[in-house]
């Protein structure tokens, strides 16, 4: 039998290594953040395989709904066929109570009082960790406390696309179940690298006033939202605009504000001659399966849903997402737009039509503004072009879609503080940050040939969940190599490395000066910030040699025979 190999993308390798490094160096519970469609399953499958096959451990994968359990099992089977006989399922909803397999996928409701029955685990993975409700951590804490009686060294790891709950704040904190984001890669970065589908955004021409909506538990009250959106003239205007904007689109997913609103949308589209599917929580399973299959196969262009396709629904052919549901939750906004992130040969980008003011409320999906529940009156994170209805970052002075020039902002007297956002295109801002941690890794350009020079990526953590990155080029020639040599000599007394792998090894072994502060230059309208200055510590003395370098210091994804290399 030929076993399948888990081929990880460079950032997935970085995620796995970041988890292992965290488990070795810290005692709290880490979280990995990879965008929707960015591939969390290969990371999870790799950790499962390593724990079972390399370190003779056991892994528990937890989720809170049956659909996520089924997806986790199916994806693990597809990802690594050498694991299929090692995976068991413990779930009352799935009528399975396996306890003996080295990898158990379980529903928390079924096992939270049965830790002793399931025996020892070394790693516990929480998939879709953002779905942890604030009042639902109790079952996880109960299980974890009992699991630690069975194995005091068990470690907990979360995986999510959004490190904040649907209605409240960040899921990581000192007193939370998960404590620290050990690795995060952003939507924009994966789009630029070609791993996610580019997005285009437009607001609806007909505006809704959400100022009268009340908030309960961090989210708009559902009945008020549906009453606002289920206005006949608004529905007809939205349907007309959806049809106009999607003439060259193939698969349009519509998020409605309630069942009656969704049926209203379906009826109006039908009157215009367009078939529209409908699914909600009460749709019978066989009807839902048939409708979703037609949509995924391309036989059904329009599909309207209510509260069922925000998480775990994979249809790579979606090339338009229409938001007719205002939400106060940045997490829900992200999950809805994330349905269009997946790459597919049938599309070059995904159009997001926002009829609920969500982009204006939360900011671009690659730069969401997460507010305290207490709220605030800061500037809007996004704005709409009055000419073409494109929704863009608030810092733009000129619309990148149509060239409209925004007038300068009108201010009454003066602000208490200067604005941090650029007003005119090209404005330069320089900000100094204290560096809290530095990560080094080998970076391989997507789709590059095998002999293409690799770079060393350096990630500076400058705040909670806030990183600034740069790349240096030890394997290049000419100007790029010269820049690397100057960068290296300012920091290290070691001989100049010839490869990115060697450079990372020396950095991880302590052969490079500490970076204490960095200065970052931002230019409005440019995609990337640039690090222009550094405050460095003393250059360390030469390393004695590789014999004293522990295997844990190696940056690449390798295994050692030494048990100290086991991260749990």
β-bridge mates for residue 518, sequence order = 433, 534
371 with 469, same domain?
Answer: no
Q: Identify which has the larger pLDDT, 125 or 89.
A: 125
103 with 244, same domain?
Answer: no
CB contact at 8 A, 4 and 80: yes
The dihedral formed by the CA atoms of 141, 144, 149 and 153, expressed in degrees to the nearest 10:
-130
Q: At 213, is the secondary structure helix, strand, or coil?
A: coil
Of 134, 166, 191, the last residue of a domain is 191
User: Residue 350 burial by CB count (10 A; 0-12/13-18/19+): exposed, middle or buried?
Assistant: buried
Q: Identify which has the larger pLDDT, 512 or 83.
A: 512
46 with 109, same domain?
Answer: yes
Where residue 422 falls among pLDDT bands split at 50, 70, 90?
very low
Q: Is residue 417 part of a domain?
A: no
Report how far apart, in Å, the C-alpha atoms of 385 and of each of 395, 422, 533, 547 are.
Answer: 12, 16, 35, 61
Question: What residues make up the domain containing 496?
Answer: 430-565
Q: Is residue 72 part of a domain?
A: yes
Q: Is residue 398 part of a domain?
A: no
User: For 95, left (φ over 0), alpha (ψ -120 to 50), or beta?
Assistant: left
Of 134, 163, 191, the last residue of a domain is 191
Mean residue pLDDT of the chain comes to 81
Write the DSSP string, 299-347.
S-SEEEESSSSSSS---TT--EEEE----S-HHHHHHHHGGG-S--TT-
CB contact at 8 A, 316 and 294: no
Q: Is residue 553 part of a domain?
A: yes
366 with 491, same domain?
Answer: no
148 with 209, same domain?
Answer: no
Residue 227 CB: number of other CB atoms within 10 A? Answer: 15
In the structure encoding, which two tokens stand for residue 340, read together?
A: 């269009």
β-bridge mates for residue 437, sequence order = 461
142 with 255, same domain?
Answer: no
Least confident piece of the model among 137-141, 490-494, 513-517, 521-525: 521-525
Of 168, 191, 214, the last residue of a domain is 191
pLDDT of residue 45 exceeding 70, the answer is yes
Q: What's the pLDDT at 561?
A: 38
Q: At 55, is the secondary structure helix, strand, or coil?
A: coil
Least confident piece of the model among 58-67, 76-85, 404-413: 404-413
CB contact at 8 A, 521 and 430: yes
Q: What's the pLDDT at 515?
A: 95
349 with 240, same domain?
Answer: yes
In the structure encoding, which two tokens stand for residue 116, read together?
A: 């002793």
pLDDT tens profile 144-168: 899 999 999 999 999 998 887 655 5
Q: Is residue 423 part of a domain?
A: no
Element (H, E) at 428: strand 428-434
172 with 300, same domain?
Answer: no
pLDDT of residue 406 exceeding 70, the answer is no
Phi/psi at 311 (nearest 5 deg)? -135, 130
Q: Is residue 406 part of a domain?
A: no
Q: Is residue 523 part of a domain?
A: yes
143 with 17, same domain?
Answer: yes
CA distance 25 to 136: 29
CB contact at 8 A, 292 and 251: no
Segment 92-111 shows an average pLDDT of 84
Report how far apart, in Å, the C-alpha atoms of 217 and of each of 107, 137, 203, 356 are.
Answer: 25, 16, 27, 19
Where residue 549 falls among pLDDT bands split at 50, 70, 90?
very low
CA distance 326 to 310: 14
In the structure encoding, which two tokens stand for residue 317, read together?
A: 């052919």
In the structure encoding, which two tokens stand for residue 260, read together?
A: 């009656």
Q: What's the pLDDT at 192?
A: 82
In the structure encoding, which two tokens stand for residue 454, read together?
A: 């690799």
CB contact at 8 A, 89 and 73: yes
Segment 33-47 shows an average pLDDT of 90
CB contact at 8 A, 359 and 199: no
Q: Mean pLDDT highest for which of 191-200, 395-404, 424-433, 445-454? A: 191-200
pLDDT of residue 322 exceeding 80, the answer is yes
Query: Which residues make Cβ contacts (< 8 Å) with residue 50, sequence separation at least 6?
Result: 16, 559
In the structure encoding, which two tokens stand for residue 403, read together?
A: 């060239």
Q: Mean pLDDT highest for which of 112-126, 177-191, 265-279, 373-387? A: 265-279
Residue with tokens 């020892």: 120
In the structure encoding, which two tokens stand for residue 239, read together?
A: 């349907």
205 with 238, same domain?
Answer: yes
CA distance 70 to 72: 5
30 with 152, same domain?
Answer: yes
CB contact at 8 A, 213 and 220: yes
* Domain CATH code at residue 86: 3.40.50.300
Segment 101-126 shows an average pLDDT of 90
pLDDT of residue 291 exceeding 50, the answer is yes
171 with 255, same domain?
Answer: no
pLDDT tens profile 217-226: 778 999 999 9
| CB crowding 301-320: b at 16 or more within 10 Å, else e | bbbbbbbbbbbbbebbbbbb
CA distance 73 to 66: 11
Where residue 390 falls among pLDDT bands split at 50, 70, 90?
low
For the chain, the domain total comes to: 3
pLDDT tens profile 15-35: 999 999 999 999 899 999 999
pLDDT tens profile 254-264: 999 999 999 99
Least confident piece of the model among 126-130, 146-150, 320-324: 126-130
Q: Is residue 419 part of a domain?
A: no
Q: What is the CA radius of gyration of the chain?
A: 25
């Amino acid at each position: 039998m030929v076993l399948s190999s888990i081929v990880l993308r460079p950032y997935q390798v970085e995620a796995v290594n970041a988890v292992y490094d965290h488990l070795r160096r810290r005692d709290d519970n880490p979280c990995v953040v990879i965008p929707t469609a960015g591939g969390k399953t290969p990371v999870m499958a790799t950790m499962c395989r390593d724990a079972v096959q390399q370190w003779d451990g056991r892994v528990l994968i937890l989720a809170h709904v049956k659909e996520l359990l089924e997806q986790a099992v199916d994806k693990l089977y597809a990802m690594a066929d050498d694991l299929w006989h090692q995976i068991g399922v413990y779930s009352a909803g799935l009528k399975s109570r396996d306890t003996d397999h080295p990898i158990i996928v379980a529903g928390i409701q079924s096992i939270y009082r049965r830790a002793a029955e399931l025996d020892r685990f070394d790693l516990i993975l929480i998939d879709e960790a953002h779905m942890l409700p604030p009042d639902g951590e109790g079952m996880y804490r109960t299980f974890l406390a009992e699991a630690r009686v069975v194995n005091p060294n068990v470690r907990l790891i979360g995986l999510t696309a959004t490190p904040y709950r649907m209605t409240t704040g960040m899921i990581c904190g000192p007193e939370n179940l998960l404590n620290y984001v050990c690795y995060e890669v952003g939507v924009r970065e994966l789009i630029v690298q070609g791993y996610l589908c580019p997005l285009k955004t437009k607001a609806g021409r007909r505006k809704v006033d959400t100022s009268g909506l009340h908030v309960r538990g961090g989210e708009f009250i559902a009945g008020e939202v549906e009453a606002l959106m289920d206005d006949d003239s608004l529905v007809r205007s939205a349907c007309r605009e959806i049809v106009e904007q999607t003439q060259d689109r193939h698969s349009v997913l519509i998020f409605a504000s309630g069942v009656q609103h969704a049926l209203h949308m379906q009826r109006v589209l039908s009157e215009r001659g367009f078939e529209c599917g409908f699914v909600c929580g009460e749709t019978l399973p066989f009807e839902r399966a048939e409708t979703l299959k037609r949509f995924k196969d391309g036989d059904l262009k329009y599909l309207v849903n209510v509260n069922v396709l925000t998480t775990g629904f994979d249809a790579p052919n979606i090339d338009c997402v229409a938001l007719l549901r205002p939400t106060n939750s940045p997490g829900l906004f992200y999950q809805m737009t994330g349905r269009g992130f997946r790459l597919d040969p049938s599309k070059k980008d995904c159009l997001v039509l926002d009829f609920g003011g969500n982009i204006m409320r939360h900011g671009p999906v690659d730069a969401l503004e997460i507010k305290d529940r207490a709220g605030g009156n800061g500037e809007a994170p996004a704005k709409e072009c009055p000419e073409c209805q494109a929704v863009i970052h608030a810092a733009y002075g000129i619309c990148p879609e149509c060239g409209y020039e925004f007038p300068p902002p009108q201010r009454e007297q003066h602000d208490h503080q200067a604005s941090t956002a650029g007003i005119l295109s090209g404005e330069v801002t320089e900000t100094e940050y204290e560096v809290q941690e530095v990560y080094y890794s080998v970076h391989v350009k997507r789709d590059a040939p095998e002999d293409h020079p690799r770079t060393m990526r350096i990630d500076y953590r400058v705040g909670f969940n806030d990183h600034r990155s740069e790349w240096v080029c030890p394997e290049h020639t000419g100007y790029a190599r010269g820049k690397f040599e100057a960068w290296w000599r300012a920091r290290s007394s070691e001989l100049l490395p010839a490869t990115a792998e060697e450079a990372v090894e020396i950095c991880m072994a302590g052969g490079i000066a500490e970076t204490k502060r960095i200065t970052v230059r931002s230019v409005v309208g440019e995609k990337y910030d640039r690090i222009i200055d550094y405050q460095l510590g003393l250059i360390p003395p030469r390393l004695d040699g590789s014999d004293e370098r522990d295997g844990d210091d190696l940056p690449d994804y390798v295994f050692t025979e030494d048990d100290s290399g086991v991260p749990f």
